[in-house]
Structure 1
């Protein structure tokens, strides 16, 4: 079997799909994308395909090593996102060729389903109590919300109070065991992160996400001392070597590699195993489409330390083009009592609606994250 052709499709709301075709007629799908830089990743895929066309798609480990190591300059968000989408498509082909879900090729499942959470509140968190109650009524046992708006290096305590009020509103609208993930989104600098960790502890969050930017990960263990709250991070990390340094420094309790940014299924399976050796949980990052979500669940299925899965069905970014709009077999993601059952189809199990995909590719997108400012006009992290 040989790979003979490929196509990429940039589609709303902010995604890119890859179609790999073989000389046997088997097709594999991937999502090589970096939010806000989709066209750049698309170009990187085009360059990397020089190493893929004509090769046997079943030799995934060798292809991964060539795609990563054959370049003098390695890693980083663009190249690793391109590699991730290719890797997903290769696993999709291999699973289809053998007639089994990808997780069966990774050692077989160690669970029947994975707990999931649903996003509420938007970029500037609002109306979180109502939305949390709605998610609970849909069966979700956990939600995630942005904690703050802009925060300067040292900021007003009124903003701290606003975070506490929002989280308390969610707790009051749900119940004591509702999982509440609070995403600091890298918006919080060290001084305010210490304050928020201390103040949030009595509200018993499920985790605090990205309390610091990746460039300050050496201080995570310091922030962790201020509140007995699990710390999650890792969506802006791209290889096992990035995670190795993070795990060795300590302070993190949950890692969140993105299957469309951190080297795909091949690499994230290795990252998950490495985290298990440090007694650290796995919760893959996935505010993306159906191929990325299925790729995450395939790894969740075989990783004992996987605890919860992000999914973006109905997230505020997806208005008009949601996750399930791009698939024919919408039952592939079955949610029951807050858990997502494992896909049963061969490969990634996702039957892409190619007609719809091609129509949406005519629309395309040029999504950019907002640029925020503090009151004094200085740049604020989004």
Structure 2
């Protein structure tokens, strides 16, 4: 069996555009991956196609050799474009191997250590603005089964935050906490927006709410500042979604930058690289909580890693998605009591419906974080994409 082609498919998904990758083989066994790179989808799709020069004609089972050669021969190593393209193609190779051998990818990675993984919800708040609106949305998300809620309450703030805006943000955290009670995890997102003194001030203010973590309080290109902040606040810190390889993570881990690490399977070079990063973190006794806000193929790949990674702790999960998500792939996700279950089908466990994608063509999107549209992350007709347990009526 030899690789014959790499194809890409871009599908509009409201807040972004999903970038799917298909690797075709001479035996007719195709694999799929996801290289979604928000706001740079056309760029990463071209980067995926350029990897044909490295991959076509090779045995798709030789995943490590392909990855090494593609990374080595890029010369300009690392960064979001190359590593996202590598991720999409590498996922597809694992998918091919699993399908050819008739086993899920997690079986190829050593077998599973769990049947399901705890999730927290993102996107549950759309389009809330006031604390009361957030509280109402929070109650609905908990009723849906989620036991952890993440959101960014900081409006348009950048670098510093004005006192009224901070008071509004803290009122929002207080309202959500009161609405859902002490058993639900509260995770506060910073989107890498603050300078050190502002992040420290916010971190101190968040101490009274017993939050699970304060995520990306500083821009991602200042690991030394993040390590200093972590030493000076008492709330746990989560970070790492905007690092792209084990080489980036080496310094991050040595500096003790965070309490939780958040690599993204679509941006760190794929399944194998995330597994290596997780093993590095395990040596520091740090839990892995992957960044996972993208599409169905990235979610499927992350679940494969969750299955076989001992220090995997929490999975980010979008609480709803565009109503046509179920048309784009054959995704079947089981969600019960705050847990997402590990798939058991061969490969990644889903197929791409190529014919459905042209109905949702590429539509460029820009970053919302500093425009006042932060909570406009889901369309009005968004719906659940997973199968949840029916409520017990007894």
Using the size of structure 2 for normalisation, the TM-score is 0.89
Counterpart of 2:46 in 1: which secondary structure?
A: helix
1:188 equivalent among 180, 183, 194:
194
Q: CA deviation at 1:122?
A: 4.5
Q: Is the 8 A contact 2:141 2:319 kept in 1?
A: no
When residues 68 and 273 of structure 1 are mapped into structure 2, their CA distance, relative to the original with a 3 A threshold, is same
Q: Deviations over 1:201-251 (max 9, x none)?
A: 110111111011111221112212343222111111000010111000013
Counterpart of 2:351 in 1: which secondary structure?
A: coil
Q: Is the 8 A contact 1:115 1:307 kept in 2?
A: yes
Matched, 1:281 2:287: yes
Q: Deviations over 1:53-86 (max 9, x none)?
A: 1111100000110111112111111111100000
Q: Is the 8 A contact 2:261 2:290 kept in 1?
A: yes
2:33 equivalent among 30, 34, 37:
30
Matched, 1:168 2:166: no
In structure 2, C-alpha distance between the alignment counterparts of 1:358 and 1:367, rounded to whole Å: 18
- Give the alignment's Cα RMSD to 1 decimal: 1.7
In structure 1, C-alpha distance between the alignment counterparts of 2:59 and 2:8, rounded to whole Å: 20
Matched, 1:337 2:331: no
Q: Match for residue 54 of structure 2?
A: 51
Q: Is the 8 A contact 2:306 2:312 kept in 1?
A: yes
Q: Deviations over 1:303-341 (max 9, x none)?
A: 111111112251xxx44544x34223x4x2100000000
List gaps (5 residues or longer) in structure 1. Answer: 375-382
In structure 2, C-alpha distance between the alignment counterparts of 1:333 and 1:297, rounded to whole Å: 10
Matched, 1:369 2:367: yes
Matched, 1:204 2:210: yes
Matched, 1:350 2:342: no
In structure 1, C-alpha distance between the alignment counterparts of 2:127 and 2:39, rounded to whole Å: 15
When residues 138 and 271 of structure 1 are mapped into structure 2, their CA distance, relative to the original with a 3 A threshold, is same
Q: Is the 8 A contact 1:114 1:340 kept in 2?
A: yes
Q: Is the 8 A contact 1:125 1:145 kept in 2?
A: no
In structure 1, C-alpha distance between the alignment counterparts of 2:250 and 2:129, rounded to whole Å: 33
Q: Match for residue 378 of structure 1?
A: none
In structure 1, C-alpha distance between the alignment counterparts of 2:215 and 2:163, rounded to whole Å: 20
Q: Is the 8 A contact 1:20 1:29 kept in 2?
A: yes
Using the size of structure 1 for normalisation, the TM-score is 0.92
Q: Deviations over 1:256-287 (max 9, x none)?
A: 11111111001000000001111111011111
Q: How many residues align?
A: 366
When residues 141 and 190 of structure 1 are mapped into structure 2, their CA distance, relative to the original with a 3 A threshold, is same
In structure 1, C-alpha distance between the alignment counterparts of 2:34 and 2:174, rounded to whole Å: 37
In structure 1, C-alpha distance between the alignment counterparts of 2:230 and 2:75, rounded to whole Å: 37
Counterpart of 1:297 in 2: which secondary structure?
A: helix
In structure 2, C-alpha distance between the alignment counterparts of 1:226 and 1:122, rounded to whole Å: 33
In structure 2, C-alpha distance between the alignment counterparts of 1:245 and 1:273, rounded to whole Å: 15
- Within 5 Å, give how 1:3-82 maps onto structure 2: 3-13=3-13, 14-82=17-85
Q: Deviations over 1:127-151 (max 9, x none)?
A: 2211111111011111111131222
List gaps (5 residues or longer) in structure 2. Answer: 373-394
Kindly report structure 1 stretches of 4+ aligned residues shifted beyond 6 Å: none
In structure 1, C-alpha distance between the alignment counterparts of 2:160 and 2:144, rounded to whole Å: 39
- Within 5 Å, give how 1:260-299 maps onto structure 2: 260-299=266-305
Q: Is the 8 A contact 1:290 1:327 kept in 2?
A: yes
Matched, 1:144 2:142: no
Matched, 1:121 2:125: yes
Counterpart of 1:140 in 2: which secondary structure?
A: coil
Q: Deviations over 1:101-132 (max 9, x none)?
A: 10011111111101111113358855221111
In structure 2, C-alpha distance between the alignment counterparts of 1:152 and 1:313, rounded to whole Å: 27
Counterpart of 1:282 in 2: which secondary structure?
A: coil
Matched, 1:2 2:8: no
- Within 5 Å, give how 1:79-98 maps onto structure 2: 79-98=82-101
Counterpart of 1:18 in 2: which secondary structure?
A: strand
In structure 2, C-alpha distance between the alignment counterparts of 1:125 and 1:299, rounded to whole Å: 35
Q: Is the 8 A contact 1:232 1:256 kept in 2?
A: yes
